[in-house]
Structure 1
Amino acid sequence: MDLQERARQRCHWLPDLSASSPPMYKALVEQLAQDIASGAIKPGDRLPPQRLLADALQVTVGTVTRAYREAERRGLVEAKVGSGTRVRGTQEQAPNFHHLTRAGQDSIDLSLSVPIPNPLRQQQLSAMMEQLSQMPEALQTALNYQPEQGCLEQREQLSAWLAQQGLSIAPEEMIVTEGGQHADFLTLQALIKPGEAVASAALTYPGMIAAARQLGLKHLPVPTDSEGIRPDALERLCQQQRIRLLYLMPEYSNPGGEHMSLARRKAIVEVARRHDMLLLEDGVQFVPATLRGKPLFELAPERALYIFSVSKLLAGGLRFGALRAPANLMPQLRAALRAQCWAPPGLMGAVACRWLTSSDADVLLNWQWQALQQRQNILSEVLAGYPVRSHPCGFNAWLPLPEPWRASEFVQHAEKQGVTLIASDPFCVGSQPAPQAVRICITPPPTDDILRQGLERLRAMLDEAPPMLAPLI
């Protein structure tokens, strides 16, 4: 039996390329897409190793490698170190991150990055809506179609509030969005073409991963250190291929908690200018001015975009935010937003801006900053001795697990102990291997005592060897 025949017998997926015309890698991708659509191969199925398939088809390994890369770019497959290349599920299944997956009734939820529960939120929202109901002119404005950039009055209110927080963004520089995730998607759709490359930290916000994948973009990981994205690694990546946009969270990253110094931010800007790359700064994880560094749009106003949202300040359900962009990019952003939804909703903006700029919001936010610092102290106290990374005002922390724990097992066992967590997999970009770590969100529990109980259960697990767990399905 010759080499080709032996290889063919070992391939559980063997496309027929006899009638295909060059380039063969494209023919291989098209056959793969057809077999996925027909159900011949199913989500989760592993593709043959590249050399094995090359031998079976009598093509070069480079042809198969190029085909697998193109299939990954198109969202057909996913490559993971240690588990090979597998067929993806539906768009709804990937990435494996569901922000509304709540903990069970008897479980302590440490999985969601949400504002700390407080009855003041409902009370203040009710008061804002009552005030608005007594303002006929404001109601009429809210009922009218809005400009693509959003209501000018609302942008002026938001601009004034941001200035008080040390962020100078003029009303004409911002476009109103339906939250931070919308700003992510809007930016990528308007400014990056399908097939072009964007980059981020190797571990990043799952919403960005999902947006890049949905739009058919090549999403590349950049190695990090204790300050986040490394300029030298970014430079090497830019020398290898054209990167159109870099997504980053300089204040404190989600999930890793890294904070960028001013020197690091300047170094990133230098690389971006040298390679004509846009910078998308995600400021949704908002922090007080005393703890905030210089925003990238002050260092590179001609290429830096900035995302703001009220989700971590007032409430995620409001779906209100804004995107700061250079003037030359605003026409493309306006056109994309108009195609998506015509204009942002005026009523939601009226409520959010009136609430954010009120004295009531000051009371709520001052309480939240103090409560976050208290919860961070509880986190440090309970998990003392373990390498937890976080920020004084961070909603979440990052915990690399000690050997021999594995992230999936730790999450599974935590669920048995009544604690809900998220492992590292949803945050991994591309084919990056998932580190053995978990994200711990300290904000969902309604009281400090419940948070402490959840953390103490995790501490007990960390102090003991992992039990034998049933295999994950």
Structure 2
Amino acid sequence: MNLTDRARQRCSWLPSTDIPEGPRYKTLADQIATSVANGELKPGERLPPQRLLADALEVTVGTITRAYREAERRGLVEAKVGSGTRVRDAGMERPDFHHLSRATTDSIDLSLSIPIPNPLRTQQLSAIMAQLAEQPAQLDNALHYQPEQGNTQQREQLAAWLTSLGLDTRAEDLLLTIGGQHADYLTLQSLIRPGEAVASDALTYPGMIAAARQLGLKHLPVSMDREGMRADALERLCQRQRIRLLYLLPEHNNPTVTQMSQRRREEIVRIARKYDLLLLEDGVQFVRPELRGTPFYHLAPERSLYIFSVSKILSGGLRFGALRAPANLMQQLCNGLRSQCWASPGLMGAVTCDWLSSPDSALLINWQWDELTARHAILEKTLSGYEFMSHPCGFYAWLHLPEPWRASDFVEQAAQRGVTLVSPEPFCVGSQPAPQAIRICLTPPAHREALEIGLTRMAELLAEGPRLSAPLV
């Protein structure tokens, strides 16, 4: 019996060996889809090891690898370190993350990282729109098709505003986007090929996880400590895997609120240069200048991109952001943006940049900093005695649940007491296990009193401990 026959005998599943013309990996992915649909491959069932299936079909291991990645991109299978590639079980899916609240009308929402509600927003926006309506030349300019990189005047306004806050940049460095999530997706789609690997903190922003999955990228977790991403873990990963891009939240990680020291940032840059990694820094969760570390585009300008958005300081509904990028990458990004949407909307950019440039925006932003200080004080008082991490500019805190609490049980039992939280699973990269911890958002309640009531209910639940289910018999 030859190698091929022996391999076929050992395979738990075999596609047809009569492969039609066309890319073999896509045909194999199609056959996986067919076998899943007709029940031949059942949820949770493990696909044959790649080497074994390659020998059985007399194709290269690379062909099987690409087929499995394509099947994973389609949502048919899931690859986990140590357990191989298995058919995805819809009933076992991790909870998805939503940018809109699932809170009921009588529940206190502590699940979303959003600006603190304030009627100043609508008042200021109304005034800015009225001013723009009285400037026909500027309004006419905003209504025209815009260049891919974005309206020149708007980029100049935004560059001046960022520079005034210590994030020095030039108009030519910026590409205007439809929010921060768009900048994430645009960067990955334009600079990374399907099947290539990107890496991030093991716990990170769910939007990045979703973008990498949608684009068929291999998303690898890097273990963390109290300063966020560990440099030694990143270097070990780079020694084993070819990574193209590193996604970073150095000011305060979402959800753990860790902040990188200067030394850690310099270690990350050394590794990035050694292994030729692009660095994508997410600066959407804005931080006051005096509390901000050195941005990566200062430390490694030749390979660093920076994301900015007004979602946390003005309004998420504006859908306006920017990507700061090195000159050698700008054309690729412009080409990618043009293929997606031609350009960011000129009218929205005009409204937003005029608002940012006005003294009114500073009043609103400074009010929010002051209000955050007061809300963090409520958090410190109410959850005193429990282990959590926070940041003065953070919209959220990261609570480590005491034993024997499990995060899923805490979220469920908090909901029964009228507090809406999100479980940690959506923040987990790849097969990273979910920690027994909860992100607590301080900003959704319109008033401090509601926040204090919600946190008090959580404190009571923590003190009582989990409600035990009946024992199995």
Whether these two folds match at TM > 0.5 is yes
**2:130 matched to 1:135?**
no
Asked if 2 retains the 8 angstrom alpha-carbon contact of 1:148 and 1:342, the reply is yes
Partner of residue 6, structure 1: none
In 2, distance between residues paired with 1:114 and 1:161? Answer: 22
Asked if 1 retains the 8 angstrom alpha-carbon contact of 2:47 and 2:87, the reply is no
Distance 1:186 1:26, change over 3 A: closer
Distance 1:437 1:78, change over 3 A: farther
In 2, distance between residues paired with 1:242 and 1:72? Answer: 19
Distance 1:28 1:94, change over 3 A: farther
Distance 1:135 1:332, change over 3 A: same
Shift of 1:369: 0.4
Shift of 1:85: 6.1
In 2, distance between residues paired with 1:275 and 1:381? Answer: 46
Asked if 2 retains the 8 angstrom alpha-carbon contact of 1:47 and 1:84, the reply is no
In 1, distance between residues paired with 2:167 and 2:389? Answer: 26
In 1, distance between residues paired with 2:438 and 2:84? Answer: 23
Shift of 1:431: 1.1
The aligned runs of 1:168-179 (5 Å cut-off) are 168-179=168-179
Offset from partner CA, 1:240-274 (integer Å, 9 cap, x none): 11110000110001011000011111110000001
Unaligned runs of 5+ in 2: 1-10
In 2, distance between residues paired with 1:186 and 1:25? Answer: 26
Partner of residue 416, structure 2: 416
Shift of 1:48: 4.0
Q: Normalising by structure 2, what TM-score?
A: 0.88
Offset from partner CA, 1:400-422 (integer Å, 9 cap, x none): 21121111111111110100001
Partner of residue 374, structure 2: 374
In 2, distance between residues paired with 1:94 and 1:332? Answer: 34
**2:275 matched to 1:275?**
yes
Shift of 1:20: 5.8
Partner of residue 241, structure 1: 241
Asked if 2 retains the 8 angstrom alpha-carbon contact of 1:73 and 1:195, the reply is no
Partner of residue 450, structure 2: 450
Helix, strand or coil at the partner of 1:430 = coil
In 2, distance between residues paired with 1:269 and 1:28? Answer: 40
| Identity across matched positions, percent | 63
The aligned runs of 1:11-410 (5 Å cut-off) are 15-17=13-15, 19=17, 30-38=30-38, 45-48=43-46, 71-72=71-72, 75-79=75-79, 87-88=87-88, 96-410=96-410
Partner of residue 3, structure 1: none
Shift of 1:464: 1.4
Helix, strand or coil at the partner of 1:456 = helix
Partner of residue 8, structure 1: none
Moved more, 370-379 or 31-40: 31-40
In 2, distance between residues paired with 1:427 and 1:82? Answer: 21
Helix, strand or coil at the partner of 1:294 = coil
Shift of 1:58: 9.0
Shift of 1:37: 4.5
Asked if 2 retains the 8 angstrom alpha-carbon contact of 1:404 and 1:466, the reply is yes
Partner of residue 5, structure 1: none
Helix, strand or coil at the partner of 2:384 = coil
Asked if 2 retains the 8 angstrom alpha-carbon contact of 1:278 and 1:304, the reply is yes
Distance 1:371 1:25, change over 3 A: same
Helix, strand or coil at the partner of 2:426 = helix
Helix, strand or coil at the partner of 1:422 = coil
Asked if 2 retains the 8 angstrom alpha-carbon contact of 1:15 and 1:32, the reply is no
Q: What RMSD over aligned residues (CA atoms) do the two structures have, in Å?
A: 3.2
Distance 1:50 1:40, change over 3 A: closer
Distance 1:337 1:470, change over 3 A: farther
Q: Which amino acid aligns with 1:182?
A: H
Shift of 1:99: 1.3
Shift of 1:95: 6.8
In 1, distance between residues paired with 2:423 and 2:176? Answer: 33
In 2, distance between residues paired with 1:211 and 1:157? Answer: 29
Shift of 1:49: 8.2
Q: Which amino acid aligns with 1:194?
A: P
Asked if 1 retains the 8 angstrom alpha-carbon contact of 2:46 and 2:86, the reply is no
Moved more, 309-318 or 75-84: 75-84
Shift of 1:465: 2.0
Q: Which amino acid aligns with 1:211?
A: A
Asked if 2 retains the 8 angstrom alpha-carbon contact of 1:376 and 1:393, the reply is no
Partner of residue 460, structure 2: 460
Shift of 1:75: 3.9
Asked if 1 retains the 8 angstrom alpha-carbon contact of 2:401 and 2:437, the reply is yes
In 1, distance between residues paired with 2:140 and 2:337? Answer: 23
Q: Which amino acid aligns with 1:377?
A: A
Asked if 1 retains the 8 angstrom alpha-carbon contact of 2:249 and 2:281, the reply is yes
Asked if 2 retains the 8 angstrom alpha-carbon contact of 1:201 and 1:228, the reply is yes
Helix, strand or coil at the partner of 2:389 = coil
Distance 1:49 1:357, change over 3 A: same
Shift of 1:344: 0.8
In 1, distance between residues paired with 2:101 and 2:469? Answer: 22
Aligned length: 454
Shift of 1:213: 0.6
Q: Normalising by structure 1, what TM-score?
A: 0.88
Shift of 1:69: 6.7
Shift of 1:380: 1.4
Helix, strand or coil at the partner of 1:322 = strand
In 1, distance between residues paired with 2:70 and 2:319? Answer: 35
Distance 1:38 1:352, change over 3 A: farther
In 2, distance between residues paired with 1:361 and 1:135? Answer: 20
Distance 1:20 1:440, change over 3 A: farther
Asked if 1 retains the 8 angstrom alpha-carbon contact of 2:44 and 2:88, the reply is no
